[in-house]
């Protein structure tokens, strides 16, 4: 299920995707394993980019990459995941609030906060670097004006991730 307005705390331009947890995602301690969270992020990201979204007014908007009928290929070249809270198994789906944190020449960052559906606290923060490629996946191609406009509608401050141990926090300009 994909919806429009983000949860409390998520940017107003966020697009929401809900993905059910699967029984096989849990450990004997009844929490969702980190590897399973990565798979759930991938599923939610693919739903958002390829299969459709609904804007804040509830209007179907198609996949985020579905602009002007062009068939765009993409690769994920970096994935950062932070777990501020334990993800406990629930029959309720996880809620992924996605937005764009940066747009470059041929790539953009797709940021997200993940919550147990109906809960205000963020369980997972993630940032994916998405590169637009040619259909044969042989090289990056520039983001065209139509896609850039679509991405800019969801552009806001990057997700706040903790700095790596032993490094200074990067300023938004350095990202």
pLDDT band at 170 (very low <50, low <70, confident <90, very high): low
Q: What is the pLDDT of residues 122-166, one digit of tens each?
A: 999 999 999 999 988 899 999 999 999 999 999 999 999 988 787
Residue pair 151/105 in contact (Cβ under 8 Å)? The answer is: no
Q: For 2-159, which CATH class?
A: alpha beta
Q: What is the pLDDT of residues 70-104, one digit of tens each?
A: 778 999 999 999 999 999 888 899 999 999 999 99
Other beta carbons less than 10 A from residue 166's beta carbon: 5
Q: What is the C-alpha to C-alpha distance for residues 33 and 39, in angstroms, rounded to an integer?
A: 10
Q: What is the C-alpha to C-alpha distance for residues 112 and 3, in angstroms, rounded to an integer?
A: 14
Q: What is the pLDDT of residues 13-35, one digit of tens each?
A: 888 888 999 989 989 988 899 99
Residue pair 62/153 in contact (Cβ under 8 Å)? The answer is: no
Which pLDDT score, from 0 to 100, does residue 163 have?
82
Q: What is the mean pLDDT of the chain?
A: 86
Other beta carbons less than 10 A from residue 30's beta carbon: 10
Q: What is the DSSP letter of 155?
A: B
Q: What is the mean pLDDT of residues 106-116?
A: 96
Which pLDDT score, from 0 to 100, does residue 8 have?
59
Q: What is the C-alpha to C-alpha distance for residues 92 and 144, in angstroms, rounded to an integer?
A: 38
Strands (E), the chain: 2-3, 15-19, 53-54, 60-62, 73-82, 94-103, 107-116, 124-133
- pLDDT higher than threshold 80 for residue 12: yes
- pLDDT higher than threshold 90 for residue 111: yes
From first CA to last CA, the distance across the chain in angstroms is 31
pLDDT band at 168 (very low <50, low <70, confident <90, very high): low
Q: Which residue has the higher pLDDT, 147 or 8?
A: 147
| Domain locations along the chain | 2-159
């Amino acid at each position: 299920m994909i919806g429009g307005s983000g949860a409390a705390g998520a940017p107003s331009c966020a697009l929401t995707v809900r993905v059910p947890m699967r029984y096989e995602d849990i450990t004997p301690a009844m929490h969702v394993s980190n590897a399973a969270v990565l798979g759930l992020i991938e599923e939610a990201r693919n739903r958002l980019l390829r299969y459709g979204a609904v804007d804040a007014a509830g209007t179907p908007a198609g996949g985020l990459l579905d602009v002007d009928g062009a068939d765009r290929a993409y690769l994920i070249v970096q994935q950062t995941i932070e777990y501020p809270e334990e993800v406990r198994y629930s029959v309720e789906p996880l809620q992924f609030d996605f937005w764009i944190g940066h747009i470059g020449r041929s790539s953009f960052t797709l940021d997200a906060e993940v919550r147990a559906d109906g809960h205000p606290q963020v369980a997972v923060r993630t940032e994916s670097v998405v590169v637009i490629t040619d259909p044969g996946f042989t090289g990056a191609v520039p983001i065209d004006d139509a896609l850039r406009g679509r991405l800019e509608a969801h552009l806001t401050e990057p997700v706040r991730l903790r700095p790596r141990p032993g490094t200074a926090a990067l300023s938004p300009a350095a990202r």
